[in-house]
Structure 1
Amino acid sequence: MGFDEGDNVILFDTGIDDSIGRKIDKFIGKRVSLIVNSHSHADHIGGNSYFQKKYNSKVFAEPGELSFINNTELETSLLNGGFWEYMLADKFLKAKGSIPEPIDKGFLSTKGIEVLDLPGHSPSLIGLKIDKIVYLGDALFSGEVIKKYGVLYLYDVDRFEKSLSKIEELTFEKAVICHKGLYDKEVILDLIHTNRNHTETMKSLILENLQFNTDYEITEKIIHKLSIEPNLTIYMLILSTMRSYLSFLQKTGAVEMVFDRGVRWKRR
């Protein structure tokens, strides 16, 4: 999605790599003066370096995402907890680095662009609102994406659910969600319900399969239960998400962390 300024365009996210950047560039046919990244995941920032090289485009991002955009090896470290760049170096997790700067909400406001704080899928994910259209990025997912992957990657379950409520309260007519397209508000409200059902289903599945297990054992049980055939990238995304759910369930008092030959989890 982009904002046409006449001779220039403000671009919202850039796709997964240079090849997507070139396709976007050809489609737009104008200079990209500014990129606003919704968050730091590779499939949203991978084309940044292409536009910075060609147009010297500025890149805006929330402070909580800046280091990951500049130093993309940190994304794999966040998933694994250590340096695993050589293990998790595919383009879905590690984009080319680019040079971002803190988002200037005042400047964007002068263009009629409102920044929406919608964290959860990533630490500081943002959406953008222009008049009656909102760009939600990965703050909301389609039913098809949920069905395809089985487990939505979430950094913070609590903040993701709160962001769903924020979207529900917004005044808009249409919304763009990544990996799918443009929808009327009625469809978006239905998708909010679908996303809430997904997080509730995941909580229930974890609690049903919690028998003094490690997070690895819980992950394996969920993968088996949902008939997911993972590669290493998908496995690490699910493992990280399970840890996020366990943290949430510990916070709400539903589970308890126990130290017994490593960290294990049980229901309270």
Structure 2
Amino acid sequence: MYELVQVGEKTYYINCPAKIGIYKINDKDVCLIDSGNDKDAGRKINKLLNENEWSLKLIINTHSNGDHIGGNNFLQKKWNCEIISTPIENTFTSYPILEPSFLYGGYPCKELRNKFLMATASNTTGDVDNNLPKGLEYINLPGHFFQMIGIRTDDNIYFLGDCLFGENIINKYHLSFIYDVKEYLNTLDKVKNLKGKLFIPSHADTYEDITYLADININKVEDICCKICEFCEDNLIFEEILQRIFSFYNLKMDFNQYVLIGSTVRSFLSYLHDEGKIDIEFIDNKLIWKTIE
């Protein structure tokens, strides 16, 4: 784990739980694409930097989830490097309490104030519009999170963040976190049409052709939509829908999964409601979700 893999003249990735990109700005200076999930990840990245006699100048965060920004604070203290992303992702990175607060819908209790949902804050220094090194470009990949991006290097390598997940993860967990289902599907359609030498999702194998994996992710979203519509034929409140989702997919509920899957299911309900497939009604001071005949 944390093996360094070269995939282009200037492009590398670190094979770890959330893959990390490295791009050589010149013979000595490099930038990272994401930084792993915590201080320990930062230490392992720092060891690789020192072994290769590289100097870290910049971290580009694809988005602000804890497993992508967790090494920021440690590495920024070591290297005094810049940290950039899109405006909303920068805000969450600077104020990590926002993520568990957003997921929970109020002040998060102590069980939710953990490194998985709330990374250590780091000092964001700019946005990707004006601060990318020569040889890099970004693409907007919204859906999984607010303003997530991918990065393309001039080796024609794409780092795709969490816009899609590996087949093994989908088969085991079925639901991955999605903020905006419509934008998520639009992003997957966009990714299917990209042409590159290699595609590197954060939580999947690398692919020379990403179409197969994109289709698997699209199909799973469509299956979940059908299942929620089926459940809502019984006119349910949200907690009943969530319970049926966990039971149907054989998921184990804990507080982290309650807010992550719960937020995702709410996003599915919003999408299906906006698409005219389910309706809402308030009965006895309860919000009822029901399938439209």
TM-score, normalising length: structure 1: 0.95
Report deviation, 1:85.
4.6
Aligned ranges 1:1-268 → 2 under 5 Å? 1-5=21-25, 6-29=27-50, 30-108=54-132, 111-131=134-154, 132-185=156-209, 188-210=210-232, 211-260=234-283, 261-268=285-292
- After superposition, give the CA deviation of every residue in 1:35-58 in whole Å (9 maximum; x if it has no partner): 000001000000000111111111
Q: Find the residue that maps to 1:137 and give its secondary structure.
A: coil
Q: d(CA) in 2 for partners of 1:182 and 1:167?
A: 14
Q: Secondary structure at the match of 1:209?
A: helix
Please say if residues 136 and 177 of structure 1, whose CA atoms lie closer than 8 Å, have aligned partners that are also in contact.
yes
d(CA) in 1 for partners of 2:178, 2:208 = 25
Do 1:37 and 1:59's aligned partners in 2 also have CA atoms closer than 8 Å? yes
- What RMSD in Å do the two structures reach over aligned CA positions? 1.2
User: How much has 1:111 moved relative to structure 2?
Assistant: 1.3
Runs of 4+ displaced beyond 6 Å? none
Give, as a single letter, the amino acid of the residue that structure 2 aligns with 1:56: N
Structure 1, unmatched stretches of 5+, are none
2: CA distance between counterparts of 1:121 and 1:234? 16
Please give the TM-score of this superposition, normalised by the length of structure 2.
0.87
Following superposition, the deviation at residue 179 of structure 1 comes to 2.2
Structure 1 window deviating more from structure 2 (46-55 vs 25-34): it is 25-34
Identity %: 35
**Cα distance in 1, alignment partners of residues 253 and 171 from structure 2:** 14
Kept in 1, the 8 Å contact 2:174–2:220? The answer is no
CA contact (8 A) 2:174 2:249 kept: yes
Q: Deviations over 1:215-240 (max 9, x none)?
A: 11101001001111122101211110
Alpha carbons 1:38, 1:126 under 8 Å: kept: yes
Q: Distance in 1 between matches of 2:246 and 2:79?
A: 44
Matched AA of 2:173: Y
Cα gap change, 1:28 to 1:180, in 2 (>3 Å): farther
Equivalent-residue separation in structure 2 for 1:224 and 1:13 (angstroms): 34
Structure 2: runs of 5+ lacking an equivalent:
1-20
- Structure 1 CA distance, aligned partners of 2:122 and 2:131? 21
Give the count of matched residue pairs.
265
Counterpart Cα distance in 2 of 1:230 and 1:195 = 23
Q: Distance in 2 between matches of 1:16 and 1:143?
A: 22
Residues 105, 114 of structure 1: 8 Å contact kept? no
Matched-pair contact (CA < 8 Å) for 2:61–2:83 = yes
